[in-house]
Structure 1
C-alpha cells in the first residue's frame, strides 16, 4: 500500500470511521457490564431459591466471570480469522453476536419456568458474548489504527479507549435510574429484562450504517500481494518471530486491566470495607472520576506519539502512583475533598489511553489481531479472575492494599517506559513478516 503522507490531515471518512467505532465500543462495554450491575437479581432469577444466599452470590459472580474466561477463547479463535480473512467480517461478527446474545438473554425463561435449562442457556449466551467481546476490543484499536494517518495513531486509539469508559459512565447513570424507577419486586419480575432489550437496540444502531464501513487498507494491501504463507499461518509466525512482543503485550495489558479493574470497577466496594464515606457523595465522585479518566485518555493520546511513548509512559506512571497514595491518605484524613481527589485520580489513570497505540506497533500487519487478541485477553482473563478476590481479601487487613497494587502496576509502567525510551525505533505500522 502506498505510504500515506506523514502529515496528512484526517479525512471526513477517517473521522466517520472513528465515530462509528467509538459509538460501537461504548455500546459493547455497556452490553458486557450489564450483568455486573444486575448480578444479584439475575442470579436470583436463574437459580433456585433453595440455595443458600451466600452460595447463590458466589454462583452469580461465577456467571459474570464466565464472560472473562470466554474472552481469551474468542480473541484467539477469531483473532486468527481476522488476520486471514479480514478485519471487517470479524468486526461484523462480534457486533452481531453481542446484539443477538443480549437479545436472547432478555427473552430467556426463568428457573421457575424451565428449571436448570434456564441457567444453562444463560451460561451459553454469556460465553458467546464474552468470546465476541474478546475479539472486539483489540479489533477496535486495530481498525482505527489502520485507517487514520500515522500522526493520529495514538489519538485515534485513545478515542476508542475513552469510548469504553463512556460506556461505563452510561452504565452507571442507566442503572441508577433503573433502580430508582422500579421497586425490587418489579425488577425481580420482568424489570431485569429491560437493560438487555435496550442493549440489543443500541447494538443494532451501528449496524444500520454498516455499508459505509470499509475494510482496513492495510489488510486490503496485504491480500493483494497474495502472500499465502504469511496470511494463513498467523499463530506459527506469532510464536516464531514475536515472542518478545507477546511478553511486552502481556505487561501492557496488565497495566490496562489493573487500572480499569481497580480504579473504575472495584474501588467503590473496596472503600466501603475500610472507610466510612457518604454513599451518594462517593457515587458522584466515582462518576466524576470516570469523566476525568475519559479526558485523561484523550489527553495522553494527544501528547504521545511513537517518538515519545517511553517518556510519556514514565511520567504518567509516576503521576498515577503519586495520586493513588495521595487519594488514600486524603481518605484516611476524612475525605473532605474527595471530588477533587477522585477527579485527579481518574485523569492520571487515563495514561492507559496511550497504550493501545504501542500495542498496534508491536505486531506486524499479518499477525496483528492474533498477537494483540492473544496477549490482551489472556492477561485480562487472569487479572479479571484473580485481582477482585485478592484485593478484597487483602483490603480487610491492609486498607492501603489497592494503592500498593496500583503502585506496583505503575512501577511496571515505568519499566516499560524506560524500555521504549531506549528502543531505537518502533516497527513500521505496515510491516509484514
Structure 2
C-alpha cells in the first residue's frame, strides 16, 4: 500500500495536525470532567433535595459514571464508521455531538421547573456525550498515527496522551476559580451552567478548521486499493482475525484507565479518607503531579522511539510500583515532602503516554477504528464504573489500597512489557485484512 516514506521529516502541516488534535483533546477531556467537579451542585439541581448529603454525592457521581458506561455504546456504534466512511468525518461528528450536548445541558430546566423530566433529559444528554467521547479518544491517536511519519509515531501519540492531562490541569484551575468566585447558592442557582457554556464554546471552535484538516492517508489508500472490501462488516473481520489483538488491547486499556483514574482523578479523595494534610498544599501538590505526568508522557514517548517498547514498559512499571509505595509510606510518615513525592508519582505514571503508540499497531487499517474503540471503551467502562467505588470502600479498611491496586496494575504492565519485548517487529501499520 502506498504511503508516506517511513523516515520523512515532520512537515509544518504535520505539526499543525498535532497541535489541532492536542488542543481538541484537551478541550474534550475538560468537557467530560465537568460532572466530576460539579457533582454536588448538579445533583442538587436535577434531583429532589435529600437531607443526607451523601445521597446527593452519590447521585452526582452516578451521573459521572453514566458517561463511562455510555462509552462502549459509542465505540460499538460509531467506531465502525471510522473504518467505513473515514476518520475525519467521524472525528468532527463526535466534536459536533459533544458541543451540541453541552450547549443543550446548559439550557436545561431544573428539577423544580420540570420535575422528573429534567434529570431524564440530563442523563440522556450525558449518555450521548459519553458515546461521542468514547469514539473521539481512540480516533485522536489513530489520526495522529496515520498522519505522521513512522519514526514520530510514539512521540506523536504521547503528545495526544499528554494533552488529555492538560485538560485535567485546566479543569482544576477553572473550577478552583469558579468555586472561589461564586457562593454555593449562586452555583446552584445559575453558576453550574457556566462550565457547560464555556465547554460548548471551546468545543465548537475546532469545527471551524474542517476544510484545513485532511483525511487519513492510510484510509484513502485503503479505499483506493479495496473499495469494496474495506466497508464489509468491520466487526465480522475484527472477531474473525483479531481476537488476540482485542485481548491485548483490553489489557493495555486496563493499564491506561487504572493509572489515569486513580493517580489523576480520585487519589486526592482517597487520601483524604485516611490522611490529614493541609488542603491548600495538597491541592497544589496534585496539580504539580499532573504537570509532571504531562512531562512523563512526552518523555516516555520520546525514548520509546529509540528503545524497545517492551523494555521501556517494564522499566517504567517497576518505577511506578516503587514510587506509589514510597508515596504512601511518605504519607504515613507525615507527608512533609508531598510536593516532591507527588511530582515523582506523576512523572512515573506518565508511562501510559507511550502505550497508545503500540495500541494503534495492534489492528489492521480497515478495522483499526472498530477494534481500538471497542476494546478501549469496554475496559474503560469497567474501570471507570467499578474502581472509584471499589477503592473508596477498600481504602476505609486498608489505607494502602490505592497503592496495592496500582502495584497490581504495574505487574500487569510488566507482564505485557515482557510479552512485547519478546515479540518480533510489528507488521506494517498500513496492513489491511
TM-score by length of 2: 0.98
Query: Is 1:288–2:288 an aligned residue pair?
Result: yes
Cα deviation for residue 185 of structure 1 reads 1.1
Q: Structure 2: which 5+ runs fail to align? A: none
Asked whether the 8 Å contact 2:83–2:230 carries over to 1, the reply is no
Structure 1 match to 2:382: 382
- Asked whether the equivalents of residues 3 and 217 of structure 2 are also in contact (C-alpha less than 8 Å), the reply is no
- The DSSP-based 3-state class of the residue aligned with 2:226 is coil
Other-structure match for 1:328: 328
The secondary structure found in structure 1 opposite 2:108 is: coil
CA 1:273–1:53 in 2, change beyond 3 Å: closer, same or farther?
closer
Q: Check 1:5–1:225 CA distance in 2 against 1; reply closer, same or farther (3 A cut).
A: closer
Q: Match of 2:218, SS? A: helix
Query: Where in structure 2 are the equivalents of 1:102-121 lying within 5 Å?
Result: 102-121=102-121
Q: Partner of 1:393 in structure 2? A: 393
Q: Structure 2 matches for 1:6-85, cutoff 5 A?
A: 6-49=6-49, 52-85=52-85
**1:181-216, CA deviations, whole angstroms, 9 ceiling, x for partnerless residues?**
001111111011000000011111111222101100
Superposed displacement of residue 250, structure 1: 0.2
Q: What SS class does the counterpart of residue 209 from structure 1 fall into?
A: helix
2: CA distance between counterparts of 1:234 and 1:73? 16
Q: How does 1:115-134 map to 2 (within 5 A)?
A: 115-134=115-134
Asked if the contact 1:146–1:216 (Cα under 8 Å) also holds between the matched residues in 2, the reply is yes
Contact 1:273 1:395 in 2 (8 A): yes
Contact map agreement 2:325 2:403 (CA 8 A) in 1: yes
Alignment of 1:202 onto 2:193: no
Alpha-carbon offset, residue 357 of structure 1: 0.3
- Displacement after TM superposition at 1:231 (Å): 2.8
Deviation of 1:424 after TM superposition, in Å, equals: 1.2
Secondary structure of the residue that 1:75 maps to in structure 2?
A: helix
What stretches of structure 1 of length at least 5 have no aligned partner?
none
Alpha-carbon contact 1:306-1:358 (below 8 Å) kept: no
Question: C-alpha separation between the residues in 2 aligned to 1:211 and 1:331?
Answer: 52
Distance in 2 of aligned mates of 1:91 and 1:110: 32
State how far apart, in whole Å, the 1-side matches of 2:50 and 2:71 are. Answer: 32
Instruction: Tell me the alpha carbon deviations over residues 334-389 of structure 1, each in whole angstroms, 9 at most, x when there is no partner.
Output: 11110000000000000000000010010000000100101100000000011111
Please report how far the alpha carbon of residue 230 of structure 1 lies from its aligned counterpart in structure 2 after TM superposition: 3.7
1:351-362 paired onto structure 2 within 5 Å: 351-362=351-362
CA distance in 2, matches of 1:43, 1:394: 25
CA distance in 1, matches of 2:191, 2:381: 30
The CA RMSD measured in Å over matched residues stands at 1.1
* Aligned counterparts of 2:229 and 2:3: Cα–Cα separation in 1: 24
